[in-house]
Amino acid sequence: MKILVIGAAGMVGRKLVAALLKTGQVGGREIAGLTLADVVEPSPVTASIPITRVATDLSAQGAAAALIADRPDIIFHLAAIVSGEAEADFDKGYRINLDGTRYLLEAIRQAGLQHSYKPRLVFTSSIAVFGEPLPEVIGDTQQHTPLTSYGTQKAIGELLLADYSRRGFLDGVGIRLPTIVVRPGKPNKAASGFFSGILREPLAGMEAILPVAEDVRHWFASPRAAVGFLLHAAEMDTDALGARRNLTMPGLAATVGEEIAALERVAGPKATALIRREPDETIIRIVAGWPKAFDARRASALGFAGDADFDEIIRIHIEDELGGKIG
Amino acid sequence: MKILVIGAAGMVGRKLVAALLKTGQVGGREIAGLTLADVVEPSPVTASIPITRVATDLSAQGAAAALIADRPDIIFHLAAIVSGEAEADFDKGYRINLDGTRYLLEAIRQAGLQHSYKPRLVFTSSIAVFGEPLPEVIGDTQQHTPLTSYGTQKAIGELLLADYSRRGFLDGVGIRLPTIVVRPGKPNKAASGFFSGILREPLAGMEAILPVAEDVRHWFASPRAAVGFLLHAAEMDTDALGARRNLTMPGLAATVGEEIAALERVAGPKATALIRREPDETIIRIVAGWPKAFDARRASALGFAGDADFDEIIRIHIEDELGGKIG
């Protein structure tokens, strides 16, 4: 079985590739070859199976057709211009997130019109398809009312995925990922950065800034849970989905205060003492409009499983990123 | 003030143009010129203001830019490949309903980047954005789960309209029209055709076939109400909409039995005697998945007004199409 990962150089993409190479199979079928694509050439990986690494622009003429030329059985489409950039550069966001996705779907359809071809396509959507006003707990039939161009593009991607699946051109599963914590690496300027920062920096013995109040509630998953969602989406029986191909993943609803309490349980008061409260009105305003919690019962019933609690999310970071040690 | 009507040759388009010419104004502002565009050249109309009639393919290079070259203040975008054809011809449906709409939005944005330009854009969406399983009464926050490519394309149009409005490129209002009854003209092969046929044919002294049971419930508006929705969308204060630019119009929920009872009240038993019951399993199955009723309180609160009852819908047909006489 051949697998294509588009967006393989990103954080989730790299962890997905590592997980695929570790088990060597998806749904009991052996992986015979893996193509890693991204806008920059993905880093080399050590593997016993053939690995192809491709730098490509999904919005360029013929790029999608070239990517699927060897007819991968499973395609993970994780590539996207992120929220802030899609908002700052309207054309680029629509070109990559809408046109790029559509070119991929259309290349698959065209290949299927010529020969029998109907791959599983796993598409990462986002809770950014939801925008305020929202209920405290968002159910599985909440309408999509994005308040960013990124969220709009993801919502359109979901609609296209469902229609192409309904028409039988491909076998799509769209998963709305929660906010990923603990995101490894350096602090960044994303408005959501502090959700990871207040855990990651103290766990590394460094100070972190908390710009919002402790009662701010949001929806989370660890990188390991996110990879688990992707793998389950690749393996699951899609007959159970019917025509509704897109699912809110079962994240974990938690307040910032609950994050900090978990940090104290796992790493002690010397870690939480490194969190400095510095309210930022801009971030407070942005975050106020974000989803607080979901009732993701549909995905849970379909076998998707998230993190048990925030202690587990922190322990996953310590195991996967810090070699088991707190700095 | 200049107005552009795209889709001016269709049934609703022609009635909209007649209404615009009759009052000569929208929102108290005098109409100085009217451009009528469609894929076929719209028929001549008698008017005291300049009328431009254009045959154009909205999906062709430069077509949208040409249509807005004189910077219309209000644009009605009614053009679409209808449901059955968009399902039969996948490429054509996406080309006109998705690409055509996007080209129009993008032409407006490009014009605005060069000079100050931000027209009101009224977009006709459809209750086809909703697909089963659905609640008995569909609320204003029900998610979009289209089960046709047409419904998918309309749902994408709504998302684009909202994002382009949010970004300030245009001032959009999307309206989800109910099923229009009584649709004038000849019987057609649309699965929904009987909803009009069982009124229109008997009112003209002809037999009509009813392929479903009398307890089938659906969501309706007269052509006159539809034109009223369009005009109100062109005139309304869009500040009240916030970021949610798309609205389910206040139709009338009625069963086939209620339609027939209204026909009997208005036209007597000699009319209803012309309805022949001839169950059609295909149509029964298709119609079973359609929306039954909506709670359109948001549109009602914003001043949109539908038909009072089915008797009124029938009287409107008699007045507007039959010269006040029952055949």
Task: Quote the strand ranges of B104-251, DSSP E.
Answer: 120-126, 137-138, 171-177, 179-180, 208-210, 217-221, 246-248
The structure's pTM equals 0.96
pLDDT of amino acid A103: 98
Chain A residues within 8 Å of chain B (Cβ atoms): 90, 131, 141-147, 149, 152, 155-156, 159-160, 162-163, 166-167, 243-244
Which of A126, A132, A152 would you mutate first to test chain B, the one with the most B CBs within 10 A?
A152
CA B273 to chain A, closest CA, distance in angstroms equals 41
Q: Is residue B189 scored above 90 in pLDDT?
A: no
Coil, helix or strand at residue A150? helix
- Residue A143 to residue B145, Cβ atoms within 8 A: no
Q: What is the pLDDT of residues B249-285, one digit of tens each?
A: 999 999 999 999 999 999 999 999 999 999 999 999 9
Instruction: For this complex, say whether ipTM is above 0.85.
Output: yes
- Residue A159 to residue B142, Cβ atoms within 8 A: no
pLDDT of amino acid B206: 96
Residue appearing with tokens 């060597």: A24
**What is chain A's mean pLDDT, rounded?**
96
In chain B, pLDDT over 90 holds for what percent of residues?
94
Using CB atoms, pick whichever of B143, B149, B167 lies closest to residue A141.
Answer: B143
Q: Is residue B89 scored above 90 in pLDDT?
A: yes
Task: Name the DSSP letter for residue A196.
Answer: H
pLDDT of amino acid B186: 87
Q: Is residue B327 scored above 80 in pLDDT?
A: no
Mean per-residue pLDDT, A182-203:
92
CA B142 to chain A, closest CA, distance in angstroms equals 5
Mean per-residue pLDDT, A211-217:
97
| Domains defined along chain B, listed by start | 2-177+223-248 (3.40.50.720)
Confidence of residue B187 (pLDDT cuts 50, 70, 90): confident
| B117 catalytic per annotation | no
pLDDT of amino acid A267: 97
Mean per-residue pLDDT, A43-69:
97
- Residue B167 to residue A149, Cβ atoms within 8 A: yes
Q: What is the pLDDT of residues A309-318, one digit of tens each?
A: 999 999 999 9
For strand A33-38 and strand A29-30, is the pairing parallel, antiparallel, or unpaired? unpaired
Task: Quote the strand ranges of chain B, DSSP E.
Answer: 2-6, 25-26, 29-30, 33-38, 51-55, 74-77, 120-126, 137-138, 171-177, 179-180, 208-210, 217-221, 246-248, 252-255, 275-277, 293-294
Confidence of residue A141 (pLDDT cuts 50, 70, 90): very high
Coil, helix or strand at residue A3? strand
Q: Is residue A189 scored above 80 in pLDDT?
A: no
CA A178 to chain B, closest CA, distance in angstroms equals 19
Contact B71/B117 with Cβ under 8 angstroms?
yes
Cβ pairs bridging A and B (under 8 Å): 52
Confidence of residue B191 (pLDDT cuts 50, 70, 90): confident
Q: What is the pLDDT of residues A83-121, one digit of tens each?
A: 989 999 999 999 999 999 999 999 999 999 998 999 999
Q: Which residues of B touch A145 (CB under 8 A)?
A: 162, 243-244
pLDDT of amino acid A186: 87
Q: Is residue A190 scored above 90 in pLDDT?
A: no
DSSP H or E segment with residue A193: helix A193-203
Which of B152, B158, B161, B246 would you mutate first to test chain A, the one with the most A CBs within 10 A?
B152
Task: Name the DSSP letter for residue B185.
Answer: S
pLDDT of amino acid B42: 97
Confidence of residue B169 (pLDDT cuts 50, 70, 90): very high
pLDDT of amino acid A106: 98
Mean per-residue pLDDT, A215-231:
98
pLDDT of amino acid A142: 95
